[in-house]
Amino acid sequence: MASSPISPRARRRRGAAFALTGAAALLVGLLAPSAAAADDFVSDAETSDNVTHVANIPKTEAMGDSFNSDLAFTGDYAIGGNYNGFVIYDISEPEQPEIVSEVLCPGGQGDVSVSGDLLYFSVDYARANEDCGAPAVPTSDPNGFEGIRVFDISDKTAPEYVTAVRTDCGSHTNTLVPGPDGEYDYVYVSSYSPSSNFPNCQPPHDKISVIEIPVDDPASAAIVEEPVLFPEGGNSGTAGCHDITAYPEKGIAAGACMGDGILMDISDPAHPVVTDVVRDPNFAFWHSATFTNNADTVMFTDELGGGGGAICTGEYGPERGADAIYDIGGSDAEPELGFEGYFKIPRVQSETENCVAHNGSLIPVPGRNFFIQSWYQGGVSVLDFNDPSNATEIGHFDRDPVDEDNLVIGGSWSAYYYNGYVYSSDITRGLDVLRLEDPRLRVAEQVHMDEFNPQSQPSYRPGRGHGRN
């Protein structure tokens, strides 16, 4: 999940653009048209020959004044986070997606994870209380709420607000780790940027929060652990983590913790343990991570400039604001990260386009390593990293600048492969759907997922259902 292209302190000062009344989530009617029929759709993007832009759903009026953020998937639905709440899309016909419902519940970032009928939603702008209608308050307010909100989405047309869990420094991102017995979910909450001026976000903040949610009683969700990941202090600038990607089947996780990249043992999901730490002189902001399917390699991303800078102009070179790929050696008990190589999109962008490495996922080609990744206004990149020391772009989707004359925030926040298509959450332009037409990727169409949280990786096998059934 992702950081906003605004500094953390600016995010906390800004708050939501409007406030609602009432305790429950506010459902809003369909305020935007569904995507045009595939035969009528005309793309405004440049694509490589093996990528086709098949659909776009513009942002609705209710979500239009705030950024779109991350995505999660369940069955025939995609759930799109937004700083004002979330939108549920019907993607049963991927080339003609439709909006099913949207929920106004402002709180910033809007990172999302889905687990069966439950949705976990990140709040990192302080609100007066836990209610969806609560107004914004300064981060210096000791009674302000930030953390995780829990929704029941069993009825996709009418999600219901269940409860909220307060966490120190709020929740910038959240990562689902299903419990081994199926009775509990664990959510790892990442947050950062403490200050002595913030009563609920005091330094040092070298920890994460672990929330335990009884699946049959989600209203009882509560923090069960707050493990300190850097007991001796992290690298310069490390004060919490930005995001964590779990691989529950393997019992491991990778954390992007601002100044450090880490591996963790999560075989006991309530009590994660750091097993290795790596630093990179070319990395400014460790942002996110993705494992290969066999978990012998991990890719970290560097969000140099916080998502708001034009980092793909050529001035910064191929090793900054890029992906860094590491081999995972050593033993299970004592893994060792070894650097293999960098990747950055070769398509030079203009000085008015914010562009840097951002959210992506594996394309499920068992035995091979292909990746789909967002680059803000650098668009969406299809990446071959079967040779981790020489990763290459093999496809792309790239729009013109949002503004030809001024640097404004926009572009693809997240791009993920799900059941035969790529879904891209564009900050300003809505949900895009892409079809990949490349023989190297065709076997991925045989992999069907029942549920997909990109920061909770499944193990891929052709023809097998994945996720919670």
For every one of its 469 residues, what pLDDT tens digit does the chain have, with 9 covering 90 and above? 445 444 333 333 222 222 333 445 566 544 444 555 556 789 999 999 999 999 999 999 999 999 999 999 999 999 999 999 999 999 999 999 999 999 999 999 999 999 999 999 999 999 999 999 899 999 999 999 999 999 999 999 999 999 999 999 999 999 999 999 999 999 999 999 999 999 999 999 999 999 999 999 999 999 999 999 998 887 877 888 999 999 999 999 999 998 999 999 999 999 999 999 999 999 999 999 999 999 999 999 999 999 999 999 989 999 999 999 999 999 988 999 999 999 999 999 999 999 999 999 999 998 999 999 999 999 999 999 999 999 999 999 999 999 999 999 999 999 999 999 999 999 999 999 999 999 999 999 999 999 999 999 999 976 554 554 3
Q: Residues in the chain, how many? A: 469
Cα 149 to Cα 143: distance, rounded to the nearest angstrom: 16
- Which domains, from first to last, does the chain contain? 8-466 (2.130.10.10)
What does the radius of gyration of the chain's CA atoms come to, in whole angstroms?
20
DSSP lists the bridge partners of residue 376 as 412
3-state secondary structure 326-389: EEEEECCCCEEEEEEEEECCCCCCCCCECECCCEEEEECCCCCCEEEEEEEECCEEEEECCCCC
DSSP lists the bridge partners of residue 414 as 359, 425
Which pTM was predicted?
A: 0.93
Burial class (CB within 10 angstroms; exposed 0-12, middle 13-18, buried 19+) of 140: middle
- Yes or no: say if 435 and 397 are a contact pair by the CB < 8 Å rule: no
Q: How far is CA 278 from the centre of its chain?
A: 22
Cα 253 to Cα 267: distance, rounded to the nearest angstrom: 10
